Amino acid sequence: MAGEVAGFSRENAKLILETVRYLRANGFIPAQPSRGRQTIPPPTPIFVRNDSGEEIPAYACLQTTGTVEDGGQNFITVDKPVDNTGDAGPYLFNGQEPIEIGGFGIAYDGPLTRMLTDGATLSSGDKCRPVVAEWYIELGGDLITIVGDDDIEPNTVRGVIGAAGGGGGELFRFELTADFTTGNTVAATIKTMGGSTVGTGISLTDPEAIFFGLPSGSKGYCILQAGTYYEIQAACAAEEGYV
């Protein structure tokens, strides 16, 4: 009837607002005028438990560590990444709600999903990777391809997980930033073949230590496979004491 007023408690009003924000953020309430009559099926939820010992922020990069049963529901246990190759477990990304220590939440496995960044400027087509012991992604690697910024939260982008495809290698240039004198890895600046810097201080791997003895400043070529840069060719100069 005209003149009737509906009221909500503060708690219910907050719940309604959070629900509407969630539906809008995940595309269930398209903005006008594109709304039309489209029906968008909800994604299958991935239930996770926070085993990190820290609160997980919105859109954080998570690495799976196993599963656990709780109250008749199977949850995937997640933590901060311990590698940037996926060897220790595949990656998920948290939704828009933080997850308290030991708490439960919903994560996403993509392929297209929102991702937390360190604030760096990222453009469509940039290749990124998880960061060990951090919640955000960074430039480098080949596990994630950036689509573009997302204004839902600061330092948030949309990216595609696993967009690089399997098995192949991408060619890059390198310049050592340390002497190659221990182990089978050395720090280097990695650049694209066009000369754009991918990152500095990146670990360059030589499993057979073929280029052992190269001094800092040496340049050459490397390939990227499964998130690791492998040295494949370097300039030789016998007069400088290395081959």
**φ/ψ of residue 114, rounded to 5:** -80, 145
Cβ neighbours of residue 190 under 8 Å, at least 6 residues apart?
140, 172, 173, 174, 197, 198, 199, 200, 202, 204, 222, 229
Residue 42 pLDDT > 80 = no
CATH 2.40.50 assigned to domain 170-240? The reply is: yes
pTM over 0.75: no
Supply the DSSP symbol for 227. T
Average pLDDT over residues 43-69: 93
Q: Where are the beta strands (DSSP E) in the chain?
A: 46-50, 61-70, 73-79, 91-94, 104-108, 112-116, 127-130, 137-139, 144-149, 156-161, 170-176, 185-191, 197-205, 219-225, 228-234
pLDDT at 165: 41
Instruction: Kindly list the domain boundaries of the chain, sorted by start residue.
Output: 46-161, 170-240
Q: 3-state DSSP call for residue 208?
A: coil
Span 158-178, pLDDT tens digits: 998 874 444 456 788 999 999
pLDDT at 238: 35
158, β-bridge pairs: 114, 148
Residue 39 pLDDT > 60 = no
Span 124-151, pLDDT tens digits: 988 899 999 999 999 988 789 899 999 9
Cα dist. 31→50, 154, 185 in Å?
A: 33, 20, 50
- Give the position of tokens 């998920």: 92
pLDDT at 2: 56
Q: Which two tokens stand for residue 210?
A: 């073929």
Nearest Cα to Cα of residue 99 among 131, 143, 51, 146: 51
| pLDDT band at residue 226 using 50, 70 and 90 as cut-offs | low
- CA 161 and chain centroid, separation: 8
Span 67-126, pLDDT tens digits: 999 988 899 999 999 988 888 889 999 999 999 999 999 999 988 999 999 999 999 988
